[in-house]
Amino acid sequence: MASFSSQIQNPIMKYILVTGGVISGIGKGVIASSVGTILKHCGLRVTSIKIDPYINIDAGTFSPYEHGEVFVLDDGGEVDLDLGNYERFLDVTLHRDNNITTGKIYQSVINKERRGDYLGKTVQVVPHITDAIQEWVETVAHRPVDGDHADPEVCIIELGGTIGDIEGMPFVEAFRQFQFRVKRENICVVHVSLVPQPSSTGEHKTKPTQASVRELRGLGLSPDFIVCRSEKPIDQSVKHKISNFCHVSPEQVICLHDASSIYAVPLMLEEQQVSHLLSDRLSLNLNTHRPRNFMKKWRDLSTKHEHLRYSVTIVLVGKYTQLEDSYASVIKALQHAALACNRKLELKCMEAEDLEEEAKANRPVKYYEAWQNVCKANGIIVPGGFGQRGMEGKVAVCKWARTMKKPLLGVCLGLQAAVIEYSRNVLGWADANSQEMSPEGTRHVIVEMPEHNPGQLGGTMRLGKRQTVFKSHDSKLRQLYGNVDYVEERHRHRFEVNPKFVADLEAAGMKFVGHDVDGERMEIMELADHPYYVACQYHPEYLTRPLKPSPPYLGLILASSGKLEQYLSRGCRMSPTDSPESSDEELPMPPHLLVHQTDKPSMSPASRTTPPPTLQEMPTSALNSTPSPAEKGDLEESKQSL
């Protein structure tokens, strides 16, 4: 990326604080990431910090229904999912300290008090807690995140929750003091507020935003910019009204209505001159001239997303499907891969419990609907999770995908489900199970890791970036990674394949093509006689990027689109095209060679979905394709039941 920032260096750190008003969940994370993306395209080095006011030390012990998925960093930090947005938008590598929680701050202060660092003084919220927050922010803001060991120049700080929450008061007070600590010219406040449009009146209402800004100013922070979130575009009269009542100029009121994709958000911000406004406010000394190709990759990405003609349907078989954010990174990885393959992602989230035999008796409608969606899909993903609930549904869908030659990607628990299914139905070990699901079982093909402490859940898993070494050249996933000898991916698990049974599984046809550096842990599994039956113990979705999709997810989308063999036969290179009007479809470059692609929509007939199977074909029709001897008894019984 070419830099066009001024030759004048910015030795003083600049801070952008993003706060929220009216309601939570209105896109502060995406807006903060988008602002950072704009500044990075201006040639500045950007880092980010997410503040979560809850008392938990980190997000590691949260249920996915609390705050969505737990995002894992290279250093093993279990953090809020917004840090995943920052990494994907800014293409940086953050650290566990980039996620600040009330628990971390209080733990730090209490540890100092126990050591006697406060020399017998009374420890209070002000000044000790607020000082600790400011010191933490200043320290982390200067930590390199780009891999070039250069200090960042701009730090974007997102304060979670909404202004007025009692949990966030110490942080608001800390930043009131912080603006004097770093000087007012080096920090600006961006306040994100909802501007509702009641259906009864049809007009946008500004009173909630006025009240939110008034409360923020009453706490000592005056917003420099107000980002107005709305469902539909806001007209100029509403913008001027907010300007008048909230003590900012009309140019400082930024309007963001719902967009077709998050890739459009940086473009919408820049259309309203955000980079110029920030440059003036923080004295960033940016060149006022914008080159023609400024943010071109984002424009191309947004345009491409809006003009996809063909779709690919993927079924996600999970345990937490009631909240989409539970699988935020998985969904982003699928979207990035689909976009690289010129496909619109049609995602169907299925509760694993609805695929179990018990659901057939208790919830027959959901049971048949779930299996119908599975049978209609072009591909299947079985993501990670914990606990027994829904495990048999995951095992059942793995069996269906294997016997019906349907592309499948298993991640973490998905790999374990595939191993259990293969052990039961190919090796004939009916009692095969996981130690997590059946502690008293007789044949644990999945066992607990020796370093796991069952009495302490937080931070005791195998976490962070680890190296996986390929053991075979005959591997689809190795080709997708660019035929490298090893890969480094992030992990988050407590259980793994039992090494005692690996030889039997491989003799039966299940190949573990990737191991850890010691050769003891099974990291990647593939079936050779299958279009794409791949599973990995690590979580490849944590390292996906909009223009650099995760290879396992890319393989799933390619296989589901009927393009994987063509892609691999060309050395993981896209087909040549002579002009945008060419009917030949482009295929994505491998991640290690990825460059900007054109926006030409794909026209391949292979992308068209086949007619869906009838209800009578589900799920027992899957078993009709050369079942193993151990499966034949179940086959006849299932046919009769349907």
Tokens 């961006």 locate to: 190
Which residue of the set 356, 489, 539, 586 is catalytic? 539
Two tokens at 271? 């259309």
Q: β-strands 344-351, 311-318: how paired?
A: parallel
The answer to whether the beta carbons of residues 573 and 480 sit under 8 Å apart is no
CA gap 464, 614 in Å, rounded: 44
Torsion of CA 346, 352, 358, 364, to 10 degrees: -20
What is the sign, positive or negative, of the torsion defined by CA atoms of 136, 137, 142, 147? positive
Is-catalytic flag, 95? no
The answer to whether the beta carbons of residues 542 and 553 sit under 8 Å apart is no
Listed in order, strand segments (DSSP E) in 55-196 are 71-72, 78-79, 99-101, 154-159, 187-194
Q: What angle do CA 341, 266, 240 make, to 5 degrees?
A: 145
Which residue of the set 523, 541, 585, 586 is catalytic? 541
The answer to whether the beta carbons of residues 467 and 516 sit under 8 Å apart is yes
Helix (H) or strand (E) holding 515: strand 510-516
Tokens 């006011």 locate to: 53
CA gap 565, 555 in Å, rounded: 10
Listed in order, strand segments (DSSP E) in 517-578 are 522-527, 533-536
Fill in the amino acid letter for 215: E
Is-catalytic flag, 541? yes
The answer to whether the beta carbons of residues 533 and 526 sit under 8 Å apart is yes
Two tokens at 121? 């003084």
The answer to whether the beta carbons of residues 395 and 437 sit under 8 Å apart is no
Tell me if the bond preceding 611 is cis, omega within 30° of 0.
Answer: no
Is-catalytic flag, 539? yes
Which residue blocks in 188-273 are alpha helix, DSSP H? 207-218, 236-246, 265-271
Which residue of the set 255, 375, 412, 572 is catalytic? 412
CA gap 472, 475 in Å, rounded: 6
The answer to whether the beta carbons of residues 477 and 524 sit under 8 Å apart is yes
Q: What residues are annotated to the active site?
A: 412, 539, 541
